[in-house]
Amino acid sequence: MKETLKAVLSHIRESVKNTGKGFYVFVGILIIVITWAFINYAQIFITGHGMSGLSDVVPWGLYISFLAFFIGASAGATIIGLLIYGFRQDDYKPMGTRAILLALVCIFGATQFVMADVGVPWRALKVPFLLRNVTSMFFISSTSYFIFMALLSAELYYAIKVTFGIGGEKAKKMAKWLGILAVPFALFVVHTFTGTIFGVVKAREFWNTPLLPIHFITSALASGFAIVILIAIITSKLKKREIVSQKTFNHMGLLLGAFLTATLFLDLTDYLIVLYSGTAEGMETWHILSERYAPLLSLNIIGMIIAIIILMFKKGRTVPGLFISSLLTIVAIMAYRINLISVGQLVPLYPEMGTLHYVPSVPEISVALGIVALMVLLYMIFAKILPMEKTVTGLADKGV
């Protein structure tokens, strides 16, 4: 640990020397957004959720939509470790540590959305530390978040040791097996149980399906992988050199296309089942989706179709095509998350409730943007101060 800390501190000193003004300007912008969010969150904390668009009949909104998205993105990003260590795709190695950091930042950000939704942050910490109903999906899911953060932290630690060329074979083996283990744990424990939270709710027509956990897995792979691609492209532009080769980008495009196709199939299946269910709840769900939420429905379906079409062509799997298709993927899956969570609550449980509405307020939107800005800031800082790629020459020889 002491050896690793010395190496990291030495790397930080070198990184700070080589940091341009643009980095600090962008950090300043992010801090302004975070400050705006904190001010609004403080007002919501004092006065209650009345300042947001949430209510007692629609208690889940943007916060839970972003929670589901970033839990998925975190789980999906771990696929890079499996490609490197399980399938011997060494060309993905420059993205290995970046993917671990991305996954860790995303799972951390997701927990902040839970705390914002609860209103009083320390209440969220009661699960799993104080409230231990082992049959509750909330208990199982929240427990898995903490275990996953610990797993990713350990993986990042050993990846850094390997990058610095310290720790020997033990560090390499630990990085390898933690990277492989992270994938099934992320997909089949963390994100599956996140989907199960919705799937077991019998009172909600749009949620109650055993396919929802599987749906969450495919969308997690697509969203997480899309963010990794964006990071590879943006990092290459900022560093003015190729982080991964065009061959690797082509492979990334093929994988993203496969994940997107599976996700689109399940999205369409969900919508078709609701449309043809013949139940009053199903028809009301479709009515809301096709009218009030038609823009998001269009973004979800058309966005993924366009992204898949782009990725079908070899030119679409170059940097410009991948950039557009990755952005479309993120927007489309975020639209589905909002549709799933919001529309699922807008169908009245009994006629006397009347027509239900949910419109996010400015304070609620600001808090969501603030948490996203915090995640971007954390990624930028840690990507700057931690070694992301090759061994820092001379450190191992100096005993650092």
Find the largest Cα–Cα distance for the chain: 75
Q: Looking at residue 139, what is its pLDDT?
A: 83
And the tokens for 217?
A: 């897995």
CA atoms of 217 and 378, how far apart (whole Å): 25
Residue 184's contacts (CB-CB under 8 Å, 6 or more residues apart) are none
Give the Cα-Cα-Cα angle 87, 93, 95 (nearest 5 degrees): 115
CA atoms of 69 and 223, how far apart (whole Å): 8
In one-letter notation, the amino acid at residue 166 is: I
Under 8 Å between Cβ of 207 and 346? no
- Only one residue has tokens 């914002």, namely 116
Under 8 Å between Cβ of 183 and 79? yes
Under 8 Å between Cβ of 349 and 84? no
* pTM (predicted TM-score): 0.93
And the tokens for 70?
A: 């970033």
CA atoms of 388 and 400, how far apart (whole Å): 17
* Residue ranges of domains in the chain: 212-358
Q: Looking at residue 396, what is its pLDDT?
A: 39
Q: Looking at residue 390, what is its pLDDT?
A: 63
> How distant, in Å, are the alpha carbons of 159, 167, 171, 243, 395 from that of 1?
13, 10, 12, 29, 15
CA atoms of 92 and 73, how far apart (whole Å): 18
| Helices of type H across the chain | 2-17, 21-47, 62-77, 79-85, 96-118, 121-124, 126-129, 137-164, 168-185, 192-199, 212-239, 246-275, 280-290, 294-312, 319-338, 344-346, 362-385, 395-398
CA atoms of 339 and 342, how far apart (whole Å): 5
Under 8 Å between Cβ of 255 and 325? no
Under 8 Å between Cβ of 149 and 66? no
Tens of each residue's pLDDT in the chain, 400 residues: 677 777 777 777 777 777 788 899 999 999 999 999 999 999 988 888 889 999 888 999 999 999 999 999 999 999 999 999 999 999 999 999 999 999 999 999 999 999 899 887 777 777 666 767 778 888 888 889 999 999 999 999 999 989 888 888 999 999 999 999 999 999 999 999 999 999 999 889 899 888 899 999 999 999 999 999 999 999 999 988 999 999 999 999 999 999 999 999 999 998 998 888 888 899 999 999 999 999 999 999 999 999 999 999 999 999 999 999 999 999 999 999 999 999 999 999 888 888 899 999 999 999 999 999 999 999 999 999 888 886 444 343 333 3
Q: Using CB atoms within 10 Å of the CB of residue 325, give its burial: 0 to 12 exposed, 13 to 18 middle, 19+ buried.
A: buried
| Helices of type H across 291-354 | 294-312, 319-338, 344-346
Q: Looking at residue 399, what is its pLDDT?
A: 37
Length of the chain measured in residues: 400
Q: Looking at residue 126, what is its pLDDT?
A: 74
Under 8 Å between Cβ of 299 and 332? yes
CA atoms of 183 and 187, how far apart (whole Å): 6
